[in-house]
Amino acid sequence: MKGRAAPAIHTSPDRLLHTMKRQPDGTFAPIDFEQAMDEIAEKLSRIIARDGPRAVASSHGTGIVAHSLAMASTHSFMEAIDSPMNFGNESIDQPGKSVAKGLHGVWQAPGNGWVEPQVILVIGMNPLVSHNGFPNTWINGRLAKGMKLIFIDPRRTESARKATQFIQPLPGHDAALLAALCRVVIDEKLYDSAFVAENVQGLAELRRALERFTPEAVAAAAGIDAGELVTAARTYASARRGYAICGTGPSMSGSSTLVEYMRMCLETLCGHYLRQGEALPFAGVTMAPPPARAQATPPFPAWGAVFGGHETRVRGLRAYYAGSAPMPTSALPDEILMPGEGRARALLVCAGNPVLAWPDQNRTVAALKDLELSVAIDVKMTPSAQLADYVIACKQHLETPGISYLAEGLAFYATGVGSDQSYGQYTPAIVAPPAGLQVVEEWEVFYGLCRRLGLPFTLRGLNGTAATIDTDRKPTTDDLLEVFMAGSRIPLDELKRHPAGRCSLMKPRARCRARKAGPAASNLPTPTSSRISTPIRSPETASARASNSA
Amino acid sequence: MTLHPTFCRICYHLCGTVIEVDDEGRTVAMTGDKDNPFSAATTA
């Protein structure tokens, strides 16, 4: 159950009523929040003094979306103590979406399918239920106007019933299916040749890599007909405007990076991006106007030195290009369990449930039990919280103010998620926590720890600003939201004046800008040319390929 | 009983919602906000 269960979640008997501390006999007893914070700060201080800041790790789960400041304040704390051990859900639920961007390169403007798409290709996603993939508000209207809707899914979902073409392969073939689509698009010359000529390198190399992915071979392995793939490729590539999107299934599969990479190849071949002069579907409300430019950013390192060069001690995994936290969560249990210098000894879990979410449950449980200090910041006593030393009881989302920046930011993350228009909202807290509860917001934990450790609490905003918050005079959530939104197109005060905090800018003035002269303008690392690359071009992959063939 | 337009924060889509709050300040119901231009009464 999701949002419709909000009232039940707020009044649930499972709700944590106050902060809890594990007792010597293993049971939990209530403890005053400030007292718990004093004890946690003292223990953190001791661990950092003995083992260095790396011994303190943080991990956030998907619950952070409930509170606008939860993730940013986690990062503020980690930055203050100078620990690189910053983990999150993104590296286990959709790492491919970020990594593939580095391997392929990106277009510096959104996809062109947000406005009046002629085709949508949905792979492993159920938009009518999840709202991921397309806005339910306009799908029927688009279909009535003749838009093609192709679903590829092992399961005939509720959404798939709306498909103009439904392909039902065996699970696990998404990368090969996309490869076959790309092959047909190249062989039948259905791709946008002008766009490819101007912006893409490596087309011939890509075609060579696709040699064995004939529609016949891929279809036979996936249990479908080759003709279905040919039809889908022709439908998709013949549309001037459209987008392809992969959901949770492909993102959590073993080859999620390759799937996402092949999706980007298909998108790039078809030139499904906004061009110079086209109006942007969204223009920023809680965020600054997007720096959209009709220009390719070439491949950039998706992991490694440019992200601080931080490595895990196990398997040599490196910090990577991620929207949220840069360290790979799959390594964290071993980082805790493996003896030696740099071992993680304290863990702060914010709105996450490692026992249920991380790979290898047995090892995760062993790791959580092995910690010297384990703090869970949550709204209920999850299986992970039951293994913690302290469980900090938090407010539910309707008990806190918030802004809708996530939906806005996601519109750049992938076409098909987030807001399809210039829309933003501020909400005040709707209800107070029930009487008698001692509950806090996540940011209060990280702010309070910085204050106790005598460290600055620097909040990094949505638009690139950083402000150090006074730790002598505690701010309100609204104070922090104002700092967080600094540089936004619509200031927080103005947003609050709109009815119910809803701000919708009907006419986005922003348009996709022209290519910039000289090297590709980007805040991403080390552009080497100004073209998107279809074959994967990273030193790691190249050497892996060489050693495989040797 | 009062009605409060807001948005849902259970997942990142942030569908517009209206929360019904009873006289004791408890949330009792949630419906989609038909005036929300982004989600128009629908919820994930």
pLDDT in tens, B1-42: 999 999 999 888 888 999 999 999 999 999 999 998 888 888
Quick count: other Cβ atoms within 10 Å of Cβ A482? 18
Q: Is the Cβ–Cβ distance between A265 and A535 less than 8 Å? A: no
> Which residues does A72 contact at the CB level (< 8 Å), separation at least 6?
A443, A459, A460, A461, A484
H helices then E strands: how many in chain A? Answer: 22, 20
Q: What pLDDT, on the 0 to 100 scale, is given for residue A547?
A: 30
List Cβ neighbours of A461 (8 Å cut-off, separation of 6 or more): A72, A467, A483, A484, A485, A486, A487
Q: Find the residue in A nearest to B7 (Cα).
A: A427
Do A161 and A178 meet the contact criterion of CB atoms below 8 Å apart?
Answer: no
With bands split at pLDDT 50, 70 and 90, how would you rate the model's confidence at A518?
low
Which of the four pLDDT bands, split at 50, 70 and 90, describes residue A1? Answer: low
Angle CA(A365)–CA(A251)–CA(A167) in degrees, nearest 5? 135
Q: Does A473 touch chain B (CB under 8 A)?
A: no
Record: contact A406-B14, CB cut-off 8 A: yes
From chain B, the residues in CB contact with A9 under 8 A are 10
CB–CB of A427 and B16 under 8 A?
Answer: no
User: Is residue A472 a contact partner of residue A462, using CB atoms and an 8 Å limit?
Assistant: no
Calculate what percentage of chain A has a pLDDT beyond 70.
Answer: 93
Report the Cα–Cα distance between both ends of chain B, in Å, rounded. 25
Q: Provide the pLDDT confidence category of residue A13 given band limits of 50, 70 and 90.
A: confident
| Residue whose pair of structure tokens reads 């009815």 in the numeric block | A499
Residue A380 has pLDDT above 80, yes or no: yes
Strands A457-460 and A532-533, bridge-based pairing: unpaired
Predicted complex ipTM: 0.96
Name the DSSP class of A525: S
Residues in B 4-43 with any Cβ partner in A closer than 8 A? 4-17, 19-21, 25-30, 33, 35-40, 42-43
| A417/B7 CB distance under 8 A | no
**Residue A136 scores a pLDDT above 70:** yes
> Which residue in the block uniquely carries the two structure tokens 């092995």?
A370
- As a whole number, the mean pLDDT across chain A is 89
Which of B25, B39, B44 lies closest to A2 in CB terms? Answer: B44
Angle, alpha carbons A468-A51-A323 (nearest 5°): 45
> Which range (A51-55, A307-311, A481-485, A493-497) has the least confidence?
A307-311
pLDDT at A371 over 90: yes
User: Sorting pLDDT into bands at 50, 70 and 90, what band is A534?
Assistant: low
A502 — contact with chain B (CB < 8 Å)?
yes
From residue A125, alpha-carbon distances to A62, A156, A238 in Å are 18, 10, 23
pLDDT at B5: 95
d(CA A226, CA A234): 13
| Edge-to-edge strand ranges of the sheet holding A402-403 | A402-403, A422-427, A502-505
Q: Cβ separation of A10 and B10 shorter than 8 Å?
A: no
Task: Give the single-character DSSP code of A158.
Answer: T
Q: Is the Cβ pair B10, A420 closer than 8 Å?
A: no
Residue A495 forms contact with B (CB below 8 Å): no
User: Which residue bears the tokens 């986005």?
Assistant: A508
Q: Do A131 and B40 make contact, defined as CB atoms within 8 angstroms? A: no
Is pLDDT at A252 greater than 70 in this prediction? yes
Q: Residues A20-23: contacts with CB within 8 Å, 24+ apart?
A: A20/A381, A20/A390, A20/A391, A20/A393, A21/A389, A21/A390, A21/A391, A22/A388, A22/A389, A22/A390
pLDDT category of residue A290 using cuts at 50, 70 and 90: confident
Phi, psi (5° rounding) for residue A235?
-60, -45
CB A390 within 8 A of CB A376: yes
Rounded-to-integer distance, Cα A77 and Cα A447, Å: 7
Question: A131 and B15 in contact by Cβ < 8 A?
Answer: yes
- Take residue A238 and report the two structure tokens written for it: 């013949």
Question: Which one of B7, B25, B37 has the shortest CB-CB distance to A427?
Answer: B7
Residue from the list B13, B29, B42 with its beta carbon closest to the beta carbon of A407? B13
Q: How far apart are CA A148 and CA A118, in angstroms?
A: 6
Question: How far A296 CA sits from the closest chain B CA (Å)?
Answer: 28
Identify the band that residue A418 occupies on the pLDDT scale cut at 50, 70 and 90: confident
Pairing label, strands A200-201, A56-60: unpaired
Evaluate if residue A307 carries a pLDDT over 80: no
Query: 515-544 in A: which are within 8 Å (CB) of B?
Result: none
Instruction: Give the Å distances, CA to CA, from A121 to A24, A51, A116, A282.
Output: 56, 50, 14, 22
The confidence band for A521, taking pLDDT boundaries of 50, 70 and 90, is very low
**B6 interaction partners in chain A (CB closer than 8 Å):** 398, 425, 427, 430, 500-501
Tokens of A33: 């929040």
Minimal C-alpha gap between A346 and chain B (Å)? 28
Looking at the predicted structure, is the pLDDT value of residue A449 above 90? yes
Of B6, B35, B40, which is closest to A430 when you measure between CB atoms? B6
Q: Which residues 6+ apart lie within 8 Å of A257 measured at CB?
A: A95, A96, A99, A100, A103
Helix A174-187 to helix A215-222 angle, to the nearest 10 degrees? 160
* Per-residue confidence (pLDDT) for residue B33, from 0 to 100: 92
Q: Between chains, do B30 and A7 touch, taking CB under 8 Å as contact?
A: yes
pLDDT score recorded for residue A243: 95
Give the model confidence (pLDDT) of A481-515 as tens digits: 999 999 999 999 999 999 888 888 766 567 778 88
CA distance A204 to A399: 56
CA–CA distances in Å: residue A414 to residues A109, A239, A332: 11, 19, 28
Query: Which residues contact residue A157 at a Cβ distance below 8 angstroms, ignoring those fewer than 6 apart?
Result: A126, A128, A129, A151
| Orientation angle between helical segments A442-453 and A33-51, nearest 10 degrees | 50
Q: Hey, of A60, A64, A65, A125, which one would you mutate to test binding to chain B, going by the most B CBs within 10 A of its CB?
A: A65
DSSP-based three-state secondary structure for A66: helix
pLDDT band at A47 (very low <50, low <70, confident <90, very high): very high
The partner residue sitting opposite B9, judged by closest CB among A397, A419, A432, is A397
